[in-house]
Structure 1
Amino acid sequence: MKTNKMNPLYLDIGNSFLKLAARNGSDWQILFDGKHDRIDEMISYLASKGDKGKIILSSVRQDISEKLRAELSDRNFIEYRSSHIPSNRLDYKTPQTLGLDRFLVCLAAWIESDERNVIVIDAGSACTVDLMTTKGVFRGGIIMPGLQIIKSSMRDHLPELPKAPESIPEEWPGKSTVECIEWGVNGGFLLAVQGFIERYRSMVEDPVIYITGGNAVQIMNWMSEEASLNYRKYLIWEGLEQFEKIIRE
């Protein structure tokens, strides 16, 4: 795919991954997806591109974004931060510590839902479950360790236990050590997410639920009974694209 020469690139620097994308008609093309230790590869990739268009950036790791700016000083980076969020769009006590990605995925979901109440599950290295209301106000939510962090913690600190499969037993309670771990890890994670959703449902009317992030498909398989669960792989890019519009309101 050849993108228009002046089309911007969109870069999301998360807790663990660097992800670069470009708009491809009505869809998105992922140009680079790797962990932070591959930053030099991303720098080489960007340096090799003849296109010197702008790079729209959202980052939760300022050390990474500063290195990119230093190594690619000839590129036009436009970095959005939580301080750019209009105050009337936030109901949050510490906006200076809010990861912009949380706001962006909610913004994209809110726009797609035709400005309804939305709950967004972003199941990545960290798992967030956040709420944005019909007025486009981010109301906050929860941050907890992502599924892979929980599993790696089990492996690191409880190495004598067997590895849990990627499933939840049909029978309750667990009748074997593996089943007990499945319930404790996978089932516990799922019950936490479902519990947060129910709390939001008690606060707002008829919310639309979206899910994104690296573990989204796995969680969707476990939550098949959630009729309103909408998987959107590219919410972060949609939010970045729309963000400039709301800060100019």
Structure 2
Amino acid sequence: MKSSKEFPGFIVRPIFFLAYFAAQKDEKVNLVIDIGNTVAKLAIFDHEDIVEIIRGSNHSLDCLPMLCNKYPIERMIIASVITLSNTIKRQLKKVDIPILELTHKTPVPIQNMYKTPETLGMDRLAAVVGANYLCPDKNLLVIDAGTALTYEFIDAQGRYWGGNISPGIYIRFKTLNACCDKLPLIEKGGDLPEFGYSTETAIRAGVIKGIEFEIMGYIRLMQKKYPDLLVFLTGGDKFSFDTNLKSIIFADRFLVLKGLNRILNYNVTKK
């Protein structure tokens, strides 16, 4: 496998112990592309298994030719929460593979009750599809802790009712710095006391613990309505929860990618 140095800005990650050699395997694979507000993630799926993930710029997919040469890709799906750059559009046109671009008109294996589906972020939709696929017939709260912090609810009948959007960790740090003249911009890594003993720790504790309380508040609210509630937590940020809540929380940082793969396969079977 090529190193990340050969694709500046990209991190190449083989997943778990799954070894995949395209030259020795005839089965076709899926390519899933998730373009977020901060980074792009490209994943190779062998059926439901993730073979490899590459993370990098959301303005250029420089590793795309390498993946197309390395794997026998049969089809691909792309979802983006930003307007695709002209560079990415040119790169996709050079790929001789059927591409499904996820939009609000794309058929999905759940019932979308959102009243303005055209404004719904495709990452939010994919996360819900992924959670529903992994735990069907369950009432699910899906929390994505990325650039934004999102909460989605899908019931046991597979009906997605919508959700809420809140600022993520970095946005909160950046907003405090931008709106308060004497508050510094800090990193999320560092000492995290119960109450800050300096301005830096006060900001870090206030933001991160505030998000934790926010998440726990949503979970407990939904538990009152749905005692059998299960929670999926995805995204790049990690939080701490009390023991009573940990038992119902499933952490899956690849939930959006799994949802996109599920949508791609669903559209293939519908043909």
Report the TM range for the smaller structure's normalisation: 0.7 to 0.9
Q: Amino acid of the residue matched to residue 259 of structure 2?
A: G
1:32 has 2:71 as partner = no
**Is residue 29–residue 44 contact of structure 2 (8 Å, CA) maintained in 1?**
yes
Matches within 5 A, 1:161-180: 161-162=183-184, 163=186, 166=189, 168-171=192-195, 174=196, 176-180=198-202
What SS does the aligned partner of 2:253 have? coil
Cα 1:9/1:246, change in 2 over 3 Å: closer
TM-score of the aligned structures, taking structure 1 as reference length: 0.81
Cα displacement (A) at 1:138: 0.8
TM-score of the aligned structures, taking structure 2 as reference length: 0.76
Cα displacement (A) at 1:56: 2.0
Identical aligned residues as a percent: 26
**Is residue 131–residue 200 contact of structure 1 (8 Å, CA) maintained in 2?**
no
Cα 1:7/1:44, change in 2 over 3 Å: closer
Matches within 5 A, 1:1-249: 1-3=20-22, 4=25, 6-24=28-46, 27-37=49-59, 39-46=60-67, 48-49=69-70, 51=72, 53-64=74-85, 66-70=89-93, 72-85=94-107, 89-158=111-180, 160-162=182-184, 163=186, 166=189, 168-171=192-195, 174=196, 176-215=198-237, 218-219=238-239, 222-225=240-243, 226-227=245-246, 228-244=248-264, 248=270
What SS does the aligned partner of 1:74 have? coil
> Which structure features the higher share of helix residues?
1
Question: What stretches of structure 1 of length at least 5 have no aligned partner?
Answer: none
Paired positions, count: 241
Determine the C-alpha separation between the residues in 1 that align with 2:166 and 2:29.
35
Q: Amino acid of the residue matched to residue 262 of structure 2?
A: Q
**Is residue 28–residue 234 contact of structure 1 (8 Å, CA) maintained in 2?**
no
- 1:80-136 CA distance string (max 9 Å, x none): 222224597022110111122212212222232232001111111121111110011
**Is residue 17–residue 36 contact of structure 1 (8 Å, CA) maintained in 2?**
yes
**Is residue 52–residue 76 contact of structure 1 (8 Å, CA) maintained in 2?**
no
**Is residue 82–residue 98 contact of structure 1 (8 Å, CA) maintained in 2?**
yes
What SS does the aligned partner of 1:202 have? helix
Determine the C-alpha separation between the residues in 1 that align with 2:82 and 2:66.
20
Cα 1:198/1:224, change in 2 over 3 Å: closer
**What is the RMSD computed on CA atoms of the aligned residues?**
2.9
- Residue matched to 2:5: none
What SS does the aligned partner of 2:29 have? coil
**Is residue 39–residue 57 contact of structure 2 (8 Å, CA) maintained in 1?**
yes
Determine the C-alpha separation between the residues in 1 that align with 2:145 and 2:174.
16
**Is residue 164–residue 181 contact of structure 1 (8 Å, CA) maintained in 2?**
no
Determine the C-alpha separation between the residues in 2 that align with 1:113 and 1:139.
17
Cα displacement (A) at 1:35: 2.4
